[in-house]
Amino acid sequence: MPTGRFTVIVLDSVGVGELPDADLYNDAGSNTLANIAEDVGGLDLPNLESLGLGKIIPVKGLSGDIIAKAAYGIMAEAAPGKDSISGHWELMGYIAQQPQPTYPEGFPFEVITALEKETGRKFIGNVAASGTEIIEKLGKEHVSTGSPILYTSADSVLQIAAHEDVIPVEDLYRICKQAREIMSGENAVGRIIARPFQGRPGDFQRTVNRKDYSIPAPQDTVLDLLKDAGVSVLGIGKIEDLFAGRGLTDSIHTRSNLEGMQTTLRAIQSDISGMIFTNLVDFDMLWGHRNDVAGYYRGLCEFDRFLPELIEALKPGDILVLTADHGCDPTTPSTDHSREHVPVLAYGDAVCGDVNIGLRSTFADLAASIVEYFQITGTGAGESFLKKIMD
């Protein structure tokens, strides 16, 4: 086994341009990173730029004419869809064959009937909607009736919102667990999401007590294989939720990008071995889905400022990979994920700088590289780029 650690940080939704079939998803023209750059007049991200971010695709404000400190490239998603679950599964070596079901017209009668019978509650809503907007629209009715708010989006999700003073958080979690049992088979949505909120009509605010109940991958991912091989796997942020708790030896939930970065830094600074896997969800949840271009850019700047501390903490033999799971272009009319390529930046003392790993045909190439690094048997998906980037 190697003496170093392999750290993967997913900058959730930081896509770098439409996939060839993006038009099938109404995502033609989406390019989260480049379109933000155009909107704000150019990106000032000196640390990401020095790693080679501007060499992956042309991005206003980032130079493509530097000697990059990192190996760099781009990955295409082989699985259909554009959801977080299938994106993360593929990053870890399982390529979904079918898109997870979506309900743009709301959930069918039989689903609602089953939910109400199982939970003993009537639901209101049952539409595809923005989470903040539906809480403002139906929050007062929810508070007066006690009926949970049920909604979805263009993603494969069933979301249930409830005021914490009306339905306590633990009760909402219980309702979502019941929904997870119901949403199986042909209705097996990727995630059931609990969305607690507080406040008064006209000033409702979602709280940090969100909880995701994901469908498990149909077969082992690299996380499972690492754990079975005795390799430590630490999940930071929403990783435990995305993988339904599987394949992790330890998990730390975080409440913001900054807390996720700080937690990752402490893990890298520690003496733990194995793999560190972090998801920074604010890019997606707070800014991408809300079409907040300025907020998204501030988030990128925050990560860029923090990046030198992460790099400085790396130990001999460590590899740090920055990537994403899909896009969520805040410059388009849509508030949903966008079907995009994702970036790859790989850095470490044994990683060759300024190496272009090219366009990879699947996110699973990252999984294959992790497998080769730890010298274990993989899932069979993907082609490792480890030898291409190592001294």
The CATH number assigned to the domain holding 152 equals: 3.30.70.1250
Calpha distance 139→134 (Å, rounded): 7
Q: Are residues 146 and 251 in the same domain?
A: no
**Residue 103 resides in a domain:** no
Residue 104, domain member (yes or no): no
pLDDT at 147 over 60: yes
221 and 199, same structural domain? no
* 152 and 56 in a common domain: no
Indicate whether 322 and 232 sit together in one domain. yes
CA atoms within 13 A of residue 353's CA, in its CB half-sphere:
11
pLDDT of residue 289: 93
Give yes or no: residues 205 and 161 share one domain.
yes
Say yes or no: 41 and 84 in one domain.
yes
Kindly write down the DSSP assignment for every residue of 48-87, as one continuous string.
HHHHTHHHHS-BTTB-SSS--SSEEEEE---SSS--HHHH
Asked if pLDDT for residue 365 goes beyond 60, the answer is: yes
Residues 163, 279 share a domain: no
Quick: pLDDT tens for 117-130. Answer: 999 999 999 999 98
Residue 309 has pLDDT above 90, yes or no: yes
Verify that 262 and 377 share a domain, yes or no: yes
Residues 6 or more apart whose Cβ sits within 8 Å of residue 100: 81, 83, 85, 86, 156, 188, 189, 190, 215
pLDDT band with cut points at 50, 70 and 90 for residue 1:
low
pTM for the predicted model, two decimal places? 0.92
What angle do the packed helices 169-182 and 109-119 form, to 10 degrees?
A: 130
Q: How many domains does the chain have?
A: 2
Pair 248, 188 in one domain: no
CB 122 within 8 A of CB 99: no
CATH number of the CATH domain containing 237: 3.40.720.10
Which helix (H) or strand (E) segment is 282 a member of? helix 282-282
Domain range for 254:
5-98+216-389
Where among 193, 213, 233 does a domain terminate? Answer: 213
257-269 and 293-313 helices, crossing angle to 10°: 10
| Average predicted confidence (pLDDT) for the chain | 96
- Checking if the pLDDT of 154 tops 90, the result is no
pLDDT reading at 255 higher than 60: yes
Is 1 or 105 the better-scoring residue by pLDDT?
A: 105
Tell me, yes or no, whether 194 lies in a domain.
yes
Statement: residue 91 has pLDDT above 60: yes
At 369, the amino acid letter reads S
Question: Which residue is associated with the tokens 């366009």?
Answer: 359
Q: What's the whole-number mean pLDDT along residues 37-51?
A: 98
pLDDT at 2 over 70: no
- Average pLDDT rounded to a whole number, residues 168-174: 98
User: Looking at the predicted structure, is the pLDDT value of residue 30 above 80?
Assistant: yes
Average pLDDT over residues 274-282: 98
Residues 222, 193 within the same domain: no
Q: Rounded to the nearest 10 degrees, how much is the dihedral formed by the CA atoms of 97, 100, 104, 109?
A: 120
| Per-residue pLDDT at 281 | 96
Please give the C-alpha separations between residue 251 and each of 184, 317, 359, 365, 366, in angstroms, as whole numbers.
26, 23, 32, 24, 21
Q: Is the pLDDT of residue 11 over 60?
A: yes
Amino acid identity for residue 116 in this structure: E
349 falls in which pLDDT band (50, 70, 90)? very high
Neighbours of 375 (CB within 10 A): 10
CA distances to 29, 31, 286, 287 from 292, in Å? 18, 15, 8, 5
Distance CA 357, CA 368 (A): 14
Q: Is residue 233 located within the same domain as residue 145?
A: no
Question: Which residue, 28, 54, 32, 24, is CA-closest to 326?
Answer: 32
